[in-house]
């Protein structure tokens, strides 16, 4: 089995390297073999190339769209920050629609856990830069447009240089620090922003800073960031793939609407201008998506507009490009969730120490306080599932009541288990005659040090 595992790892590594080389080759070839534009070919009398009429014909014949909308798309540039669950579908539909220049920003690499929802990546490109993986996919979809890659995180130091190259920005990230930074730089550079989020089975979408200098920004909606301990990522809380796909597609649609309705003030040529919609401008709204609720899947709420005194976009704002680059610490502003540390060392044991307890045959209770979905995927031998939410709601704990012997509590990483131990003691389960404590590092530590076969997410 060891030899099989080594061979599989070697194959995966080489496939990743090959995919990386293919992507670099595609980028180099595209730069060298850009199709001849109509303006460079006197014998061609039409504003688009022959292949573009074939490629985009189905959307150009849509009433209210037409040739001028396609020309606007071709002359526009869009930046997607985040090549993950939102960025992949957004990029795919923008590339398919014929956006002239599509930029992607991301410093992460493709992981197996991405593949159920991040449709531009593949198993063969695990370990590859997400930006290069996405461009590899997009070039197969549409090799006729220009792709710009930024294999780095967007930071206060590089934000101006990157964002200034584009007409419009899509925030496809998943953390408050990124959202505030992206919104701020879009305000400073007068770029409309299409922002979306998705978590578990729900999502939100809003077009911000539109029109630039008049529309509300992200800080207007959320002047204060959420408490850091409340920010739960997909790894902990989960995400249903089509949910994030829906939100990414809607981001692409909003971007296309901004371009083809002429809201970016991009010239479409000497022909008749695209007719702009008469309603909805200046009325910013947030679209809320609920995939699995009993009510309507979509609902829309009206936003209040720019907030007086907003740090970024109000008339009194002192935010500048220099201050953003040198003085604003977005991590400090949003806070960092510190590991829970409420138990004394003698109230905790390691996974290996608990393994010795289990092997000794001493009667005891092992409570796994992860939510039922995590518990169902894989659990430690003999564990009883009592989710932490039961403790928080002060529900009765029949699994513990009337039982004798030590109580060991385990969670995913060793944070909730400490809180559960405290609550057990508050309820009197620690009568001074038995041990009530937790397992340091949680189920992950058990998997890493005792049983590597245990499934863990």
CB atoms within 10 A of CB 208: 28
CB atoms within 10 A of CB 131: 25
What's the chain's average pLDDT?
Answer: 87
Q: What number is the average pLDDT over the span 306-331? A: 90
Task: Say what the pLDDT of residue 69 is.
Answer: 94
Nearest Cα neighbor of 437 from 350, 375, 374 is 350
Q: Which residues are annotated as a binding site?
A: 85, 106, 113-117, 130, 174-175, 217, 220, 310, 313
Q: Which residues are annotated as a binding site for ATP?
A: 85, 106, 113-117, 130, 174-175
Among 88, 186, 334, 411, the one annotated catalytic:
411
Q: Which range is least confidently modeled, 108-117, 122-131, 278-287?
A: 278-287
CB atoms within 10 A of CB 336: 10
pLDDT tens profile 18-51:
766 776 776 666 555 556 677 767 777 788 888 8
Task: Say what the pLDDT of residue 230 is.
Answer: 67
- Torsions phi, psi for 388 (to 5 deg): -60, -25
CATH number belonging to domain 22-35+44-265+281-334 = 3.40.50.720
Task: Say what the pLDDT of residue 264 is.
Answer: 58
Task: Say what the pLDDT of residue 268 is.
Answer: 44
CA–CA distance, 292 with 261 (Å, rounded to integer) = 33
Is the per-residue pLDDT at 269 higher than 50?
no
Q: What number is the average pLDDT over the span 171-178? A: 92
Task: Say what the pLDDT of residue 276 is.
Answer: 44
The DSSP output letter for 324 is H
Check: CB of residue 366 under 8 Å from CB of residue 408: yes
CA–CA distance, 194 with 123 (Å, rounded to integer) = 29
Q: What number is the average pLDDT over the span 99-115? A: 94
Burial class (CB in 10 A: 0-12, 13-18, 19+), 148: middle
Is the per-residue pLDDT at 100 higher than 70?
yes
Task: Say what the pLDDT of residue 29 is.
Answer: 62
Tell me the residue length of the chain.
457
Among 88, 186, 234, 334, the one annotated catalytic:
234
CB atoms within 10 A of CB 178: 20
CATH pick for 345-450 out of 2.40.10.120, 2.40.430.10, 1.10.3720.10, 3.40.250.10? 3.40.250.10
More confident residue, 185 or 32: 185
Check: CB of residue 420 under 8 Å from CB of residue 396: no
Q: Which residues are annotated as a binding site for Zn(2+)?
A: 217, 220, 310, 313
Task: Say what the pLDDT of residue 274 is.
Answer: 41
Between CA 330 and CA 337, with CA 334 as vertex, the angle to 5 degrees is: 125
Task: Say what the pLDDT of residue 272 is.
Answer: 42
SS3 content of the chain, % helix, strand, coil (to 5): 40, 15, 45
- The reply to whether 345-450 shares the fold of 22-35+44-265+281-334 is no
Task: Please tell me whether residue 206 adopts helix, strand or coil conformation.
Answer: strand
pLDDT tens profile 330-349:
988 887 667 788 899 999 99
CA–CA distance, 279 with 277 (Å, rounded to integer) = 6
Q: What number is the average pLDDT over the span 362-378? A: 92
Q: What residue ranges do the domains of the chain occupy?
A: 22-35+44-265+281-334, 345-450
* 234 is a catalytic site residue: yes
Between CA 267 and CA 273, with CA 270 as vertex, the angle to 5 degrees is: 60
Is the per-residue pLDDT at 443 higher than 80?
yes
């Amino acid at each position: 089995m060891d030899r099989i595992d080594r061979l599989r790892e070697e194959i995966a590594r080489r496939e990743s390297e090959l995919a990386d080389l293919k992507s670099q080759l595609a980028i180099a070839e595209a730069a060298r073999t850009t199709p001849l534009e109509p303006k460079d070919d006197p014998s061609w009398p039409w504003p688009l190339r022959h292949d573009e009429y074939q490629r985009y014909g189905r959307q150009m014949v849509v009433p209210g769209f037409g040739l001028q909308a396609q020309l606007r798309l071709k002359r526009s540039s869009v930046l997607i920050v985040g090549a993950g669950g939102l960025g992949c579908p957004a990029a795919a539909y923008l590339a398919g629609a014929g956006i002239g220049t599509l930029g992607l920003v991301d410093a992460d690499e493709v992981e197996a856990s991405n593949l159920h929802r991040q449709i531009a990546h593949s198993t063969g490109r695990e370990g590859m830069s997400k930006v290069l993986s996405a461009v590899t996919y997009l070039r197969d979809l549409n090799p006729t447009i220009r792709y710009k890659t930024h294999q780095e995180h967007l930071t206060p130091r590089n934000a101006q240089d990157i964002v200034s190259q584009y007409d419009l920005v899509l925030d496809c990230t998943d953390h408050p620090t990124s959202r505030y930074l992206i919104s701020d730089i879009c305000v400073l550079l007068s770029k409309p922003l299409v922002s979306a989020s998705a978590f578990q089975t729900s999502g939100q979408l809003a077009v911000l800073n539109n029109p630039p200098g008049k529309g509300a920004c992200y800080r207007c909606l959320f002047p204060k960031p959420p408490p850091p301990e409340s920010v739960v990522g997909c790894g902990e809380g989960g995400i249903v793939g089509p949910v994030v796909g829906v939100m990414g597609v809607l981001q692409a649609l909003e971007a296309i609407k901004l371009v083809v309705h002429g809201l970016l003030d991009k010239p479409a040529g000497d022909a008749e201008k695209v007719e702009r919609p008469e309603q909805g401008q200046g009325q910013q709204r947030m679209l809320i998506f609920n995939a699995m609720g009993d009510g309507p899947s979509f609902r829309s709420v009206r936003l209040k507009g720019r907030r007086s005194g907003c740090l970024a976009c109000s008339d009194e704002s002192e935010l500048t490009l220099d201050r953003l680059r040198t003085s604003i610490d977005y991590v400090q502003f949003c806070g960092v969730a510190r590991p829970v540390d409420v138990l004394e060392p003698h109230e905790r044991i390691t996974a290996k120490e608990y393994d010795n307890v289990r092997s000794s045959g001493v009667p005891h209770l092992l409570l796994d306080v992860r939510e039922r979905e995590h518990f169902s995927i894989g659990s430690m031998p003999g564990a009883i599932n009592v989710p932490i939410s039961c403790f928080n709601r002060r529900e009765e704990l029949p699994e513990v009541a009337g039982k004798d012997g030590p109580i060991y509590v385990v969670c995913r990483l060793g944070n909730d288990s400490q809180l559960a131990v405290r609550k057990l003691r508050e309820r009197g389960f620690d009568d001074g005659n038995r041990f009530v404590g937790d397992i340091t590092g949680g189920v992950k530590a058990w998997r890493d040090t005792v049983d590597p076969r245990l499934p863990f997410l």
